[in-house]
Amino acid sequence: MSEAAAASATPAAKSGPFARILSVIPPGTHLVIGGTLILGLASYVQIAISGHALGQDPRAAVSELWSLAMTLSLGLFFPVEQELTRVVAARQVRGEGVRPVFRRAALFTAGLLALLCAILAATAGPVAHRFFGGDTGLVWAFAATLVGMGLVFMTRGVLAGLGLFDSYGISLALDGGLRMVFAFALVLAGVHEAIYYGLVMAVAPLLAMLLTLRPALRGSRPGPQMPWPELSQNLTTMMGASILAQVVVNAPVVALALLAPNDANLTFAVLSAGVLCRIPLFVFGSLQPTLMTGLSTAATSGDRAGFRKMLLRTCGVITGLGVLGGVPSVLLGSWLIHTFLNAPDVLHMLDFFWFAAGTMAYMLALVLGQALMAVGRHKLQLLGWVVGTVALVGATFLPGGASTRVEFAYFTGSVVTAGVLLVLLSRVSGGREPADARDAEPVATR
C-alpha cells in the first residue's frame, strides 16, 4: 500500500488541486468513489420518485421505512463489515488465509437475521401501526431489507479486508444502480403502492451481494481455524456504538414520528433535508473501507507515524467535504428539496444549517471512532456514542417547534460525540503506540 501511495504522490503534485486532494486519502479509495456516488445518488432518486409517485401518507410510511432500515441495518451489520475488514486485513499482514473468518461471519450474520425476522414477525402489528400507517406489508419489506443489507455488508467486509476494492466498488455501484432501475421501472409501470417501493431496498443489495460473491470466495484461502471470540469479542461493543451512531443520524425523522405523528408533510420535508445535507456523508462512505484497512494495517505493523498521518489527512478531507456540501445546502436547500424531491416548503435556512453542521461533526466522529477501533479500543468508541446519544435525547426535550428540536438535537449529539472521541483518542495516542501484530486482537478485551 505504501508503494502505491508513493507512486501516486508525484503525479498528484503536478496535476492540480483536485489531484492533490485525492492523493491524501487512503490508497484504494479512488476505486470505491464511483460506486459510492452511485449508491448515494440512488438514495436521492428513490426518495424523489416515491415523493412524486405516492400520496401523502404512503410517502411518509416509506420515509419511516428508509430511516428505520438505515438505522438497524447500518447499526447492526456495518459493524460486521468493519470488524471483518479489520480481522481479514490483520490476517493478510500475517500471511494467514481468511476462509475460516468468512465462514464464521456467514453463520453469525444468518443467526442475527433469523433473530430479527422472528422479532418482527412477533411484533408486526404494533410496528406497522406506529411507523407504517398500519401497513403490515411494509413490515415484511423492512425484514427483507435487513436480509439483503446484512448479507451485502458481510461480503463487502471480506472484499475490503482482502484489498479487493474494485469488487467492493462494483458491489456499491450495483446496489445503487439497481435501486434506481427498479424505482424508475415502478414509475413507468404506473405502480403507486408503497410496499413495492420499499422492496426496492431489499432486492438491490441482495443481487449486488450475489453478483460480487465470487471474488470474495476466490480470495478467501484456507487458513488457521478461527475461534468465535476472534470475531465476536468486539462485535457487541461495535454494534452498540454503531446503533447509537445510526440513532443520532436518523433521529430527526424517527423522533418526528413520535413528536408530530399526524404531520406527514413535515416528516417528509425533514427526511428530504437530512438526506440533502448528507451528501458529504455519502462521499465519505468511499473513504471508510480503505480507511479502516489502512488504519488496521498501520496499527498491526506498529506504524504510529503512518497511522497519525492517515488520520489527520482524512480529517482534513472530511472538513473540506463538510464545508463544500454544507454551504450550498444551507443557501439553496429549501428550493432543492421542493424542486427535486417534491417536499413541502415548510423548512428554512436555519433548519438546513443544523443538518449541515451536524453532518460535518458526525463524519469527524465516525473517523475518530474508527481510529479507536483500529487500535483495539472499541469500548472507548462506544462510550463516546453513549455520551453523544444522551446529549441528543436531552436536546430533543428543549422547548421549541418539533422540527427545530430534532434538528438541533442531531447537531448536539454529533458535536458532543466528536468531542468526546477526540479527547479519548488523544489520551490513547499519547499513552501508547498503536497495537502491534501481537496485541492487535487481544487488546480489544481490555
How many Å from the N-terminal Cα to the C-terminal Cα in the chain?
30
Number of domains in the chain: 1
The percentage of residues in the chain with a pLDDT greater than 70, rounded to a whole number, is 85
Residue 168 C-alpha cell reads as 467492493
For the stretch 344-348, contacts whose Cβ atoms lie closer than 8 Å and that sit 24 or more positions apart, written own/partner, are: 344/265, 344/266, 344/268, 344/269, 345/269, 346/265, 346/266, 346/269, 346/403, 347/269, 347/270, 347/273, 347/403
What pLDDT is attached to residue 71? 81
User: 301 φ, ψ to 5°?
Assistant: -90, 0
What pLDDT is attached to residue 239? 85
What pLDDT is attached to residue 294? 72
What pLDDT is attached to residue 430? 59
Q: How confident is the model at residue 422 (pLDDT cuts 50, 70, 90)?
A: very high
Enclosing domain of residue 347: 2-445
Q: How confident is the model at residue 229 (pLDDT cuts 50, 70, 90)?
A: confident
Q: How confident is the model at residue 275 (pLDDT cuts 50, 70, 90)?
A: confident
What pLDDT is attached to residue 292? 64
Q: Where are the alpha helices (DSSP H) in 262-341?
A: 264-277, 279-284, 288-300, 304-340
Is pLDDT at 286 greater than 90 in this prediction? Answer: no
325 vs 359: CA distance, rounded Å: 10
The residue written with cell numbers 488457521 in the block is 224
Q: What is the pLDDT of residues 152-162, one digit of tens each?
A: 999 999 998 88
The residue written with cell numbers 478467501 in the block is 220
Is pLDDT at 319 greater than 80 in this prediction? Answer: yes
C-alpha separations of 90 from 47, 248, 381, 435 in Å: 39, 30, 20, 11
Neighbouring C-beta atoms of residue 445, cutoff 10 Å: 11
What pLDDT is attached to residue 143? 94
What pLDDT is attached to residue 441? 37
Is pLDDT at 111 greater than 90 in this prediction? Answer: yes
Q: What is the pLDDT of residues 327-386, one digit of tens each?
A: 999 999 999 888 887 788 888 999 999 999 999 999 999 989 888 887 878 889 999 999
Q: Is 146 exposed, middle or buried (0-12, 13-18, 19+ CB in 10 A)?
A: buried
What are the respective helix, strand and coil percentages of the chain, to the nearest 5? 85, 0, 15
pTM of the model: 0.72
Q: 436: which strand partners?
A: 301
- Which residues touch 435 (CB under 8 Å, ≥6 apart)? 299, 300, 374, 375, 376, 443
**Least confident residue range of 1-10, 112-121, 217-226, 229-238:** 1-10
User: What integer is the mean pLDDT of 236-257?
Assistant: 84
CB-based contact 290:27 (threshold 8 Å)? yes
288 vs 301: CA distance, rounded Å: 20
Q: How confident is the model at residue 230 (pLDDT cuts 50, 70, 90)?
A: low
Is pLDDT at 419 greater than 90 in this prediction? Answer: yes
